[in-house]
Amino acid sequence: VLMAALHRTLHITGAEMGNVQLVENGMLRLEKHTGLNKRFTDYFTFVEDSTTACARAAEEKRQVTVKDVAACDTFDEGSRQAILQTGSRACHSVPLVSPKGAVVGMISSHHEGTLGGLTDAQLNALNELGGQVARWLIWHRGTVAGALDHLHALATSPR
């Protein structure tokens, strides 16, 4: 499901690179990616400060577009270089926001060239996708956790 959501995001934004992050212990943890190299994925395995577009999108609970990574002051120098060296010059981050307003993850597209911006139709489609993925994640976590608790109870109960 996460890779399908990433591919849909890339289709909507016209990008070939991107990643999915899930919230874990107050940080964004890299879960899935496509087109990004090892230096990028190693550097962004966990994101916990606000020196990236994805962290800013999570903090503000809204989509964030960076039209030119090289010229944007959102990034610290380490983040900027990790993004640029993978071939990304622009990015767009979509927070996965639950119906109760909690950010449960992030999907980001990375673009080879600078980005002029996205249309209202693109932004609306990404917002809808973000909400759908957030609802699925919450359902999945609840269903899987409940099933595992049930199996554990069965396995450890006296027979």
| Residue 65 pLDDT | 97
Closest to 23 in 3D by CA, of 101, 84, 87: 101
- The kind and range of the H/E element at 56 are helix 53-60
| Residue 32 pLDDT | 98
- Total domains in the chain come to 1
Low-confidence ranges of the chain (pLDDT < 50): none
| Residue 63 pLDDT | 98
According to DSSP, the residues that pair with 107 across neighbouring strands are 20, 94
Residues 155, 20: Cα–Cα separation, whole Å: 34
Contact yes or no for 107/88 (Cβ under 8 A) = no
Task: Give the domain CATH number at 106.
Answer: 3.30.450.40
Contact yes or no for 91/69 (Cβ under 8 A) = yes
Contact yes or no for 80/53 (Cβ under 8 A) = no
| pTM of the predicted model over 0.75 | yes
Provide the residue range defining the domain that includes 68: 2-156
